Amino acid sequence: MQRRKSVLKRLERCLSSGAALSGVAAVGLLATTSARAASTPVTFAQFVQATQSPNANQFAYVDNGAASDADLTTENNGVLGVAIPVTFTFLSFTGTLPADLMGPQQATITLTSSTTEAVQTAAVFGITLGHQQVFGNGSETDTLTIMRDSAAGEGTGARTDLLTMTFTGNLLGELGDTTPSLTGNTSDGNTVTYTSDFISIAPTGSDDFNMAFTSWTTLASGAGLSMSALPGDSYFASATAAGTATFDSSITPVLTSVPEPGVGAMAFGLGMMTLTLRRRRVARA
């Protein structure tokens, strides 16, 4: 199992470089892939779905046809690009986390992404993998935003943006399986950029994320990850899925130091009180 996971990862890297692989050629290329420079990523945040609906499949892959693009997005009752409920957690950072940001945060996530890149397939060790680069070169930009349900007592801006990520990446999975994943890694040439109202995440040479899907269900057949049946179409078939994700950086994010609301006003009030007392003392003298 461990060997298989390693093979899948190396194959993903080969495919993400633009190589068209299949069969024996894929195995040969995997065997000669050079090792990448080691880094120590820090998983600083994660989310899990918090959907109350009996159908937790609130992510959607939409095949818009050969002459168009394919979207990967959040979905609710057929509406694409909407916010869906999640539980978000900060895991690692530099600084002291305020009490209201500790532990699970009730939030919503919005994902929009699109691509016009064709799916590549490769047969390796008796399985067929499908890989599609997600480049935001369709009708949607590649953006993931996780917003707190209510403003926190500290932070910048509206004090609700737990994490926003702009990215390019790769959608990879075994055809027929229900657990593909969306990944991005700057060391593989992808774009992964983070912003937040609460932490500062400096861009590094090794930022990455992994969104793991489960219950991937092709709408037309009820099967797992499948190729489109539309004539001339090289995308995956339209499907829905549930998802969870982790976010990594090779540099530990720094907690943004911002006074809680009212602290600044309190300090100002104490300063004015001190100034008044000094003036009174001078007047009495």
Per-residue model confidence as pLDDT tens digits over 160-178: 999 999 999 999 999 999 9
202: in domain: yes
Q: What pLDDT, on a 0 to 100 scale, did the predictor assign at position 226?
A: 98
Asked if 151 contacts 198 with a C-beta cutoff of 8 angstroms, the reply is: no
Which secondary-structure segment (H or E) carries 282?
A: helix 263-284
Q: What pLDDT, on a 0 to 100 scale, did the predictor assign at position 25?
A: 42
7: in domain: no
Q: What pLDDT, on a 0 to 100 scale, did the predictor assign at position 81?
A: 96
Asked if 203 contacts 187 with a C-beta cutoff of 8 angstroms, the reply is: no
Range of the domain at 193: 41-284
pLDDT, tens digit (0-9, with 9 covering 90-100), for 101-134 = 999 999 999 999 999 999 999 999 899 999 999 9
Asked if 209 contacts 194 with a C-beta cutoff of 8 angstroms, the reply is: no
160: in domain: yes
Q: What pLDDT, on a 0 to 100 scale, did the predictor assign at position 51?
A: 80
2: in domain: no
22: in domain: no
SS3 264: helix
74, 167, 258, 260 from 153: Cα distances, Å: 28, 29, 10, 5
162, 169, 194, 257 from 239: Cα distances, Å: 28, 19, 28, 42
Tokens for 254, please give them: 């720094």
15: in domain: no
209: in domain: yes
Q: What pLDDT, on a 0 to 100 scale, did the predictor assign at position 39?
A: 61
Tell me which amino acid residue 255 is.
L
Q: Which residues of the chain fall short of a pLDDT of 70?
A: 1-39, 257-285
Q: What pLDDT, on a 0 to 100 scale, did the predictor assign at position 40?
A: 77
pTM of the predicted protein model = 0.81
**Domain total for the chain?**
1
156: in domain: yes
| DSSP conformation letters of 131-158 | EEEE-S-SSS--EEEEEESS--SS-STT
